[in-house]
Structure 1
Amino acid sequence: MKQILTLVVTVLIVFTSFGQSKIIYEEFNSYKLDAPRRLKIQLPRDYETNTDKVYPIVVVLDANYLFEPVAGNVDYFGYWEDMPESIVVGVMQGESRYDDCSYDDTNFMPADQGADFFEFLGLELIPYIDENYRTAKFVIAVGHDFTANFINYYLFKDPPLFNGYINLSPDLAPMMDERLPQRIPSVESKIFYYLATGTDDIKDLMEISENLNKSLKPLESDTFKYYYDNFEGATHYSLVARAIPSAMEKIFSVYRPISKQEFTDVVMKLETPVHTYLMDKYKTIEDLFGLTNPIRINDFIATATAAEKKKQWESLREIASLAQRQYPDTVLGDYYMARFYEETGEPKKAMRTFQGAFDKEEVDFITVDLMLDKADKIKEDFGY
């Protein structure tokens, strides 16, 4: 008996060879475009296991060639906590990119298929991703030449659709170089704006970027975070590989763990209590990216060390108390609380706190042996 099996494939999931990243291919039927569009979506490594976590979105136009460099950098930066793990959504365009980015010859705003594509992204794609995936309220758009120009149109929405704009050698529409500097000061929400060119870029496009940089740089403010790169020796295409990691590093600088440079140049020079810097850092992360992340152990240790060096004992107590609440099964909070007791004239409390961590998980340099040695030293010194 002959059997006929008909398979209709709408979603294909592909795992990397090490079984961590996940790529999903979807065919999205757009009523705005009256045509299907292929999407390529990369989910974060822990998406399946960490079901309470939400993720920013990175929308990549020209995904036929831009998706992989963007997705690779997002995965890499997310792995090392230099940016939040994010959902990367690529829109495959191919030859349709020119029609997708078309604008009116008179007012130079999206027209015809360009107007439809504009609505497709804002009214269909982003709501679809929000509905079907666990998303945070922070969205970045990435575009190259024509599509880089196109993402700027969303700045003229109120509020803008995207929080971050990565413009790679934009081929600006007429008047865009005048409209952007006029519009940006009136945008109330916080915007991250990155612009890149290269010294070997197409000459006209390099000049466009250089002139736009001159107009946008003076507009830097608390609500308009602006970054610019002109890469030495980079061509129109090679600049992409250098610009994407630079953009991610700059846009998400506040998200990164406290580095040695930040510790030396910022934390140690604070005139305010160190613990407020720690709390403000994570409040900023929550406000900007919609993420309520626990404070990293690295950042607890960095700020506690600074509090010790600066002899800010009340700050040390606050940091220790936070660490005890967030990491109760580790020695982290107990160690710094005991150090607070040591330095504020309560050796017996310090000794007992050091001793009380004997069955807890060790963290970094803070071992159980270190805790017990410190308890024994206090006992010896004070004859308890």
Structure 2
Amino acid sequence: MKACGMRVRYCLAAFILLSELASYGQLPQDNFEIRSDVWGTTRQVKVWMPESYLEDDTTSFAVLWVLDAQSETFWQMVCGNLAYLQSKDQIIPCIAVGIVSPDRSYEYSPVHRELADHLQIELMPYIRDHYRTTPLDIVMGHSWAGAFVANTLFSDDSDLFEAYLAISPSLSAIDGRILNQADSVLVAEMKTPKVFYCATGDLGIEEAESIEDMAAMSEICLKYSNPALAWLPSRIEKTDHFSCVAPAMVDGLLSICSRYMASERMVNNWVVETGGEILPLLEIYGKYNGHSFGYWYSPPVSYWGKLADSYLQLEEFITARDLYLFGLQNGDENVVNAFNLALTYEALEDRGNARKHFLRADELLEQQKDQIKESLYRSLKKAVGEKLGE
């Protein structure tokens, strides 16, 4: 048996992806009204939960606060993408809370603060009391809602959220109020760690204005180089004001989550920087970023094996080895991963460690015999026996 056969390439047909997203969007949701003294009326609220939230009643989830949930097509797009990304272990597990705004022009304006008060005093405490949540709150808004996102970050309400995701935001609105606030806040040094992802397309007049606004924001953020602010600008090429929304949301969540977990995107950056030997970085990254950004998510141990499998198929054996070892250090005793780790050592011509892990795979195979398919047991038993010369 070769350490790694032909590279496996995955291709998901568009119609399959679309059908998956449609089914994900139909997962259970709560729709209810909450009495608001701030607004002097009742407010509609939407809450979406992934399957994992319903399957495990002990785990808490981050919260993505979604502006413009009054648009059902926009809301369903968000929920579908969230479900798909979480099902593939791409982002931190989260629920979504949809904020329904009857008058978005008024509510998102930087000169009005009712929405911030409503969130802080009424809606966020309600969600905390009725859903299992972690201290990680991410807010997402597009266009005028993106102005609310940026304005909140550079205001006295900045601690409402830990991470801010703005898509084509109107940063120069009201005579550059948001840009001026950013300059004032950053020159005095932001004390609480925040992540600010900001994206725009590159087609059409709206995006031409957004590009100018983002350039101005980048100049401010880079001028003061505040260590408490992770400024993550992005350009979604060949998209306009509306077609950039879905890809920017996905890119934004991946970028933001990389600040709170050792994601595949982050691992790939390390591979480029180190040539593949990433175990030391894996061991310190959680400790460093958990301290720097105030929150850290540790994915299930099975995550590392899945990620290692990908690098093994790419024949990047040093990286695959380090990922398997990191999973092992965190309690991953899956027989397939143990066998693949042995194959990885064999490919690296480390016969001593290869034999050690083939023996361990043989032990685990017997221990997990009742938990795996009989066909897998037989094929692994035969392969391990051949490797051990039995």
Cα contact 2:63–2:96 (8 A) shared by 1: yes
2:86 corresponds to: 78
* Mapping for residues 58-97 of structure 1, pairs under 5 Å: 58-65=64-71, 66-94=74-102, 96-97=103-104
> Which piece of structure 1 moves more, 234-243 or 276-285?
276-285
> Which piece of structure 1 moves more, 291-300 or 49-58?
291-300
Indicate the RMSD between aligned Cα atoms, in angstroms: 4.1
| Residues 302 and 248 of structure 1, relative CA distance in 2, 3 Å threshold | same
Cα contact 1:190–1:223 (8 A) shared by 2: yes
CA distance in 1, matches of 2:220, 2:256: 20
CA distance in 1, matches of 2:168, 2:358: 61
1:100 corresponds to: 107
CA distance in 2, matches of 1:206, 1:278: 35
Q: Which amino acid aligns with 2:284?
A: D
Query: Which residue of 41, 46, 51 corresponds with 2:47?
Result: 41
| Residues 29 and 261 of structure 1, relative CA distance in 2, 3 Å threshold | same
| Residues 75 and 283 of structure 1, relative CA distance in 2, 3 Å threshold | farther
More RCO (CA 8 Å, sep 6+): 2
* Mapping for residues 15-26 of structure 1, pairs under 5 Å: 21-26=27-32
2:195 corresponds to: 192
Q: Which has the larger radius of gyration?
A: 1
The count of residues paired between Structure 1 and Structure 2 equals 347
1:131 aligns with 2:129: yes
CA distance in 1, matches of 2:165, 2:353: 54
| Structure 1 residues without counterparts, runs of 5 or longer | 1-15, 104-109
- For residues 118-151 of structure 1, the C-alpha deviation after alignment (integer angstroms, 9 at most, x for no partner) is 2111222112111111112111111233322222
1:358 aligns with 2:362: no
1:13 corresponds to: none
CA distance in 2, matches of 1:18, 1:212: 36
Q: Which amino acid aligns with 2:281?
A: Y
2:156 corresponds to: 157
1:28 corresponds to: 34
CA distance in 2, matches of 1:166, 1:312: 32
Query: Which residue of 174, 179, 182 corresponds with 1:180?
Result: 182
1:54 aligns with 2:33: no
Q: Which amino acid aligns with 1:224?
A: L
| Residues 168 and 82 of structure 1, relative CA distance in 2, 3 Å threshold | same
1:228 corresponds to: 233
CA distance in 2, matches of 1:182, 1:368: 67
CA distance in 2, matches of 1:336, 1:100: 54
- For residues 90-115 of structure 1, the C-alpha deviation after alignment (integer angstroms, 9 at most, x for no partner) is 11113x22222345xxxxxx4xxx22
| Residues 334 and 321 of structure 1, relative CA distance in 2, 3 Å threshold | farther
CA distance in 1, matches of 2:93, 2:217: 31
| Residues 201 and 318 of structure 1, relative CA distance in 2, 3 Å threshold | same
SS at match of 2:54: coil
| Residues 371 and 304 of structure 1, relative CA distance in 2, 3 Å threshold | farther
SS at match of 1:140: strand
Aligned-pair distance for 1:348? 8.6
Cα contact 1:258–1:299 (8 A) shared by 2: no
CA distance in 1, matches of 2:92, 2:166: 20
Aligned-pair distance for 1:249? 2.6
CA distance in 1, matches of 2:109, 2:354: 73
**More helix, by proportion:** 2
CA distance in 2, matches of 1:221, 1:215: 10
| Residues 232 and 137 of structure 1, relative CA distance in 2, 3 Å threshold | same
| Residues 42 and 379 of structure 1, relative CA distance in 2, 3 Å threshold | same
2:142 corresponds to: 144
Cα contact 1:200–1:236 (8 A) shared by 2: yes
Cα contact 1:190–1:224 (8 A) shared by 2: yes
With normalisation by structure 1, the TM-score equals: 0.73
Aligned-pair distance for 1:158? 7.0
| Residues 252 and 240 of structure 1, relative CA distance in 2, 3 Å threshold | same
| Structure 2 residues without counterparts, runs of 5 or longer | 1-21
CA distance in 2, matches of 1:340, 1:205: 50
